Amino acid sequence: MNSLGLSATDLATAVKNREVTAAETVAVSIGRIAELEGKVHALLTPLYDRALARASEIDRKIGKGEDAGPLAGVPVVVKDNLCMKGIRTTCGSRILENWHPPYDATVIRLLEEAGAVIIGKANMDEFAMGSSTENSAFFPTNNPWDLERVPGGSSGGSAAAVACGYAPLALGSDTGGFIRQPAAFCGVYGLKPTYGLVSRYGLVAFASSLDQVGPFARSVDDLALALDVLSTPDPADATSSRRCRPGYRACLGREDLKGLRVGVVKEFEAYPVQTEIREALGRVEGILRGAGAEFLPVSLPTTIEAGLPCYYILAPAEASSNLARYDGVRWGLSVEAEHLVDLYMKTRGEGFGAEVKRRILTGTYVLSSGYYDAYYLVAQKARTQISREFTEAFRNVDLLLMPTTPTLPFRQGENSEDPIQMYLSDVFTLPVNLASLPALSLNAGKSPGGLPVGVQFVGPRWGEETLLGAAEAVERVLGKPAAAFGGEWV
């Protein structure tokens, strides 16, 4: 049995039924990585020996008749800002190039308790600051559908790994669209859960009030399976909700969407969005209407006008605080210096890349005594208004249909010298983080040039069930995303 391309659900079933061993599934993934990694560059740290040992443990467990978990033998790639005990965790930065955490992130523990096999840590923009994975301190990741284009960011390595078939599941983090935008660019599914649904313990912080861990997959069923595993209340994370979680896979299988109200944001009509993306939105709207959904206009004026500047005040402000801990004294890079201030300056100067420095400086500026009220305080008020707008919208609709990105995947280097243009690639995703909402990006076909086209569903807080159900309705018509570089995919 060739496990390449099997969904996580089917692969775990096959392993538990002894149709294939966990060791064989890991060997297939390692072979796929060996075949394609020289082209794509999705992984910072392969974990082959550890994965093979882990797979052998799972096979022994199954041989004894024990329950190996819902993800038994399923290979998974994780973003390199998730701590793994004793495993190099760089956050794509030179300042943490040789850091080995003393503990596991909660999501890592949950994956392994569920039987998953982590086969590698994925490349990313440094400290998750970027939209292209070009800001990695080590190398850029290429888009599997066009190696001269970016895979999106900051979780570009995770998205590319799933698109290539390294693993059926991957984890990323989403601070302003950093799961959904690369999912759209790489032609896979990406889910940003409601803030507080998935534990952030062990996620190296960028902006603590915005960061959220979520899965990439190549089927809706796999997204739901991953969410079932990951959405466990965690006392180690003070922001983790204790509310009861539903069974997300159990929520799937609805034959129609009668009664579902879908909102279309009026302000987006005037926003410059590429034709291929508008056509994809039309395709998805037609599918949802055919399944019985009703469409209603929605207005989000403050969200569209103020979302981008609000985010790029608040996120850098939190980053400047969170990244102050990298001082060359306690862990990470430490550059020899004559005195303490010199140590700070040299360590941070050599350890951080240009984009991280830009955001630290921006964040420090907006928090300074002369500008706090003019920038940070105003941005917090705008964030409150954005949340209110979404809340009001969801009084009348159950989800929103929106573009994930305004453009198709852009060429490497195209926006590198224009930070504003790079930031604009997240204009449709970052308001979701400001309002702590869930959102799901799905592949809605290909452009005439063969590039993936993504759209996103946005739901109210704790509305993941609705998002998954709508995505499943689209998947039934359009099918599961195709495989980059070919391969027998289910």
What mean pLDDT do residues 52-59 have? 98
Fold of 8-299+389-478: Amidase signature (AS) enzymes (3.90.1300)
DSSP 292-333: T-EEEEE--HHHHHHHHHHHHHHHHHHHHHHGGG-SSSSSS-
What mean pLDDT do residues 8-22 have? 97
Residues 131-180 pLDDT 10s: 999 999 999 999 999 999 999 999 999 999 999 999 999 999 999 999 99
What mean pLDDT do residues 449-457 have? 97
Q: Judge whether residue 490 has pLDDT over 70.
A: no
The secondary structure of residue 416, as a DSSP letter, is: T
- pTM comes to 0.97
Query: What confidence tier does 487 reach under pLDDT thresholds 50, 70, 90?
Result: low
Q: Look at residue 223 in the predicted model and tell me its pLDDT.
A: 98
Q: Judge whether residue 488 has pLDDT over 60.
A: no
Q: Look at residue 271 in the predicted model and tell me its pLDDT.
A: 86
Q: Judge whether residue 2 has pLDDT over 70.
A: no
Tokens of 85: 């005990």
Mean pLDDT of the chain: 96
Interacting residues of 69 by C-beta distance below 8 A, sequence separation 6+: 12, 113, 114, 115, 116
- In 10 A of CB 251, how many CB atoms? 15
Q: Judge whether residue 431 has pLDDT over 90.
A: yes
Q: Judge whether residue 307 has pLDDT over 60.
A: yes
What mean pLDDT do residues 424-432 have? 95
Q: Look at residue 323 in the predicted model and tell me its pLDDT.
A: 97
Among 204-213, 230-239, 474-483, where is mean pLDDT lowest? 474-483
Residues 110-130 pLDDT 10s: 999 999 999 999 999 999 999
Residue 106, sorted as left (phi over 0), alpha (psi -120 to 50) or beta, turns out to be: alpha
Q: Look at residue 489 in the predicted model and tell me its pLDDT.
A: 38
